Structure 1
Amino acid sequence: MDVAHSDTYEELDLEAAVEQAKSSQGISYVLTDRQKGAIYSVLKGNDTFVNLPTGYGKSMVYQLVPQCVDFMKLKQGHKESASVAVVISPLVSLMRDQVKTLRQRNVTAGYVTDVLKQPVEMALLRQGKLSIVFASPETLLGPLGRELLTSSVYQHNLCGIFVDEGHCVAKWGFKSGKLDAFRKSYSCIAEVRSLVPSTVPMTALTATASPEVKKTILQSLGMSNVNTIQVSPERTNIKYSVTSTLAKDPDSQFHWLFRDIQEHRKQTPKLIIFCQTHRQCRELHAAFEDNLGEDLIFHIAMYHSCTEEQRKEKVMEDFTKAGSFIRVLIATVAFGMGVHVEELYNVLHYGPARDVDDYFQETGRIGRDGKQSYATLLNDKCDCSSDSCNADVTKGWLAKHLMRPSASTETPQHFHPQMRTVTDSQRVELQQKVEAYRDSLLQGQEDAMYSGIDMTSGISVSLISTIVQNCHLICSYEDLLKYPFFNDTDAKEIWNVITETLGTEFSSDIVCDTDSDSESDDSVEDEQSQHSSEDIVSRPVLSSNSSSSSD
């Protein structure tokens, strides 16, 4: 064990170890400096706190470390070894997803819980034949976990303990007000350190941790002399919005989505609707069933902690792959942390998350490939009479920290190959024509008007205003697709309106004054702190990313 970690490792040796581990797993892309920095820190035997955004690739740290340690041991002249990393994970769905990914890369990995104990896997587990072992804190602190960690195999080969989704330590491990701890075992993980050699480092990984949460995590896990690897949790490819409707029942609130599913079926852009309770999930699923009928309800699925394990597996297997049959998933936080879903660019919160950290975790499921994505908070399902209303807290935080001018709302401060000349009268005419098109979408939709014009039509007042304001920069259909349209049909129709009104004549090779860029950055920073929650675009957006580019 002692030979596995050393402060005297040369940087070149560490880099060679990482490249060897990547090669053996068929990983061709270049790791970021922060990913490598976290791996190097663990290999040197340091306790490490990894705070990187969702989709950043935090899991690469524990996925590569065992093979890196084996490489370093061989380089030091020791006989071939089989290092083991133990990963404490909060959800079976996350463990299952990680194990599936690792096995596809020929990594020996497995997971165990107090309920799921397969005979073959248990034998491999006890023999130390699995290089990465996932377990819940309850299992690891129970009889089986203690048996494994104190066995000679693990005493000799354990190269690190990794607490994935480390914010769960603070969120779930302690009493909150009058509520007992959700999962008390999370506050007891430090006990594991008394069972393993003192040279085994502890690593906590999370996408979201306020200073208070970080302090709680480090203290609870007994981490000392900690190396911190972190960046802001902000995901620049996600547009955040908060909206509300006049309607208070799901039938009216989601009429726009029912219509889209009826029209597009399996081509409907994927969407997760996060609910805060099982009851909300059931009520919402019942509304979809009533409005879609037997022929279409199969495109909708529900996922929460009480969903049967077999059903969870089927939902996870289908929804996470490209071209999935399930297009809308109604879920609680039970579906989320760390799970990678292909072609997912939309998430809607049916009421606010418990806090901003949870909100970022749940919105972190979208746009993991870097493409433009949309997170909408529907705050109708909230009693905002309290000063500590979750929706108001979340809106205020978003307005202060994330509601910066984006590619679709500001005059870009970089090179524009084309720009058109637009008169004030043309802007007025354009706005009138676009509003007329939106009004045409409302015909025959009187019953759905309780949802509000924005939700029923899918084209918000804010969107129209933004397009009119920036129409001099919209010189191609691709330019228009950078704006948050509900579907391609609306985008095409509005593009026709733009060309009909403004023509197709452009000025070329226009370059903005780069000398003023640095000053404008500072002014944007000042404006951000003054944004109110009303500045946030108030409309639900579903993006298929069928032809839009990744910003």
Structure 2
Amino acid sequence: MEDQVQRIQKTHFVSAEYIGSNSDFDVKARSVDVILASPELLVGNKTCRDNIQSLNVKVIVIDEFHTIATWGAVDKKEEEAFRRWFRHIGELRSLFPAAAMLALSATCTQKMLKKILKVLNMTECPNFVSVSPNKQNIKYVFKKIEHNIESSMLWLVEGLLKYKEKFPRTLVYCKSIKDVSHIYNYIISEVPDLSRHIEMFHSETTNETKLAVIHQLTQKDDLMLRVVVATSALGMGIDVEECHSVVLYGPPPTLVDLLQECGRIGRDGKDSVAVILHHSYHYQNLDEEVKTVLKSSKCRRMAIMTNFVSTTELNEIGSSDKAKHSCCDFCEKCCNCGNCRQFKLVLEKCVEEDIEEIDFDSDPSDGESDDTVLYYESDFLESAE
């Protein structure tokens, strides 16, 4: 939210403040156009709740509203929710009955939508503006790996040794802080000379480091940082500059989370690749929709988007040019053009050269700019020499 405040303030004609605690309220909130705050503060904190009622609120904006279902756990008991006040956001409508409500999400499944509209008290009169969450510039590549982190991530070390500071900027998402720590320390121990180009980010990272990482990732003129190993703490609302490669070390529990993590890349529209690495232990606590994608013997993109778009949109995805060879790993296998390798980005080539094909049948769980040289190996090697 602090990043969003900075972006809003750059418009010069709208003032904004992030309210992180009730003590910030009187100092910051009464003289600005836009307030950004968490549900825990706006709904869960009685003092703040009383204070905001004195404001002339015209619009209530719920950004990333799919989190009402995923974090608020609307299908479960309240005590099971990761952040229970998310399921009470709709109470803001009763505080400001004359205010308009705008709810935004790029990754809400059709199954979630009805439940969330009920929580937001928007079932009677919602006006929908629907844009497909499908980003055709992102290629999905799924690879089954061994349990050992060192052998599974050797390709990343070898890629860094080969390309050094020219290695494409890459986000590596993990399911736990433990995995983040293991992968980060493994990389640093193998390529100590490149340590200043590598960082980690999770909920226990110091605020100073978090701000430094976010600053580097969101600045076009600061591209020193090449690899960030992170949990989902590095997530929504961050527009990472010049990043076209993401690795998921273990798929997240829901397809919404998968799309969110993959969606950090390719935000400039350039060709990008999302590599999802998984082994048998990663199958634990996955939604059935995620397992279906992992075991799919058809187009991965279609398997993912079935949960988000209409049949008409699915047909359009299947008939697009991208579906021929640069859609996903399955479509590439089915392609007979003979030229698919030229469409591979550096990250994908590094993964393929090091990770051998593993049988998927067994289921143990029952651009135009100068920066293009960083991403296409054939162009890069010539310039590197």
- TM-score relative to the length of structure 1: 0.55
User: Which of residues 149, 172, 175 in structure 1 aligns to 2:52?
Assistant: 149
The corresponding residue for 1:298 is 196
Mapped pair 1:410 → 2:317: no
TM-aligned CA deviation for residue 364 of structure 1? 0.9
The corresponding residue for 2:344 is 484
Q: Counterparts of 1:304 and 1:225 in 2: how far apart (Å)? A: 39
Contact 1:162 1:202 in 2 (8 A): yes
Mapped pair 1:315 → 2:229: no
The corresponding residue for 2:174 is 275
Q: Counterparts of 2:157 and 2:80 in 1: how far apart (Å)? A: 39
Q: Counterparts of 1:488 and 1:146 in 2: how far apart (Å)? A: 49
The corresponding residue for 2:337 is 470
User: Which of residues 111, 114, 124 in structure 1 aligns to 2:21?
Assistant: 114
TM-aligned CA deviation for residue 185 of structure 1? 0.4
Mapped pair 1:134 → 2:41: no
Contact 2:272 2:345 in 1 (8 A): no
AA matched with 1:135:
A
The corresponding residue for 1:526 is none
TM-aligned CA deviation for residue 400 of structure 1? 3.0
Deviations 1:340-372 (A, max 9, x none): 011011111111111111111111111111111
Q: Counterparts of 1:548 and 1:385 in 2: how far apart (Å)? A: 34
Give the total of aligned pairs.
336
Alignment of 1:40-439 (within 5 A): 95-106=1-12, 107-114=14-21, 122-126=26-30, 129-141=31-43, 142-151=45-54, 154-155=55-56, 158-174=57-73, 180-196=80-96, 198-223=97-122, 224-245=124-145, 247-293=146-192, 295-322=193-220, 323-380=222-279, 382-384=281-283, 391-395=290-294, 396=296, 398-400=301-303, 404=318, 407=321, 410=324
TM-aligned CA deviation for residue 382 of structure 1? 3.2
AA matched with 1:234:
N
The structure having more radius of gyration, on CA atoms, is 1
Q: Counterparts of 2:176 and 2:238 in 1: how far apart (Å)? A: 20
Contact 2:324 2:332 in 1 (8 A): no
TM-aligned CA deviation for residue 111 of structure 1? 0.4
Contact 1:305 1:334 in 2 (8 A): yes
3-state DSSP class of the match of 1:353? coil
Which runs of no fewer than 5 residues in structure 2 stay unpaired? 306-316, 351-359, 362-370, 377-385
Contact 1:351 1:391 in 2 (8 A): no
Q: Counterparts of 1:177 and 1:149 in 2: how far apart (Å)? A: 30
Q: Counterparts of 1:209 and 1:386 in 2: how far apart (Å)? A: 20
Alignment RMSD, CA only? 3.3
TM-aligned CA deviation for residue 204 of structure 1? 1.0
AA matched with 2:50:
E
CA shift in 2, pair 1:404/1:297, >3 Å? farther
Deviations 1:47-86 (A, max 9, x none): xxxxxxxxxxxxxxxxxxxxxxxxxxxxxxxxxxxxxxxx
CA shift in 2, pair 1:162/1:464, >3 Å? closer
AA matched with 1:97:
D
Contact 1:167 1:209 in 2 (8 A): yes
Contact 1:352 1:382 in 2 (8 A): no
TM-aligned CA deviation for residue 232 of structure 1? 2.0
Which runs of no fewer than 5 residues in structure 1 stay unpaired? 1-94, 413-459, 491-532, 535-543
CA shift in 2, pair 1:488/1:312, >3 Å? closer
Contact 1:319 1:325 in 2 (8 A): no
Q: Counterparts of 1:283 and 1:480 in 2: how far apart (Å)? A: 32
AA matched with 1:367:
G
Deviations 1:295-321 (A, max 9, x none): 222211111122221211011111222
Q: Counterparts of 2:288 and 2:255 in 1: how far apart (Å)? A: 12
Q: What is the percentage of aligned positions where both structures have the same residue?
A: 28
AA matched with 2:270:
K
Contact 2:325 2:332 in 1 (8 A): no
TM-aligned CA deviation for residue 210 of structure 1? 1.5
3-state DSSP class of the match of 2:141? strand
The corresponding residue for 1:70 is none
TM-aligned CA deviation for residue 202 of structure 1? 1.4
CA shift in 2, pair 1:409/1:199, >3 Å? closer
Q: Counterparts of 1:313 and 1:135 in 2: how far apart (Å)? A: 18
The corresponding residue for 2:383 is none
TM-aligned CA deviation for residue 392 of structure 1? 2.4
AA matched with 1:134:
L
CA shift in 2, pair 1:172/1:286, >3 Å? same
CA shift in 2, pair 1:300/1:171, >3 Å? same
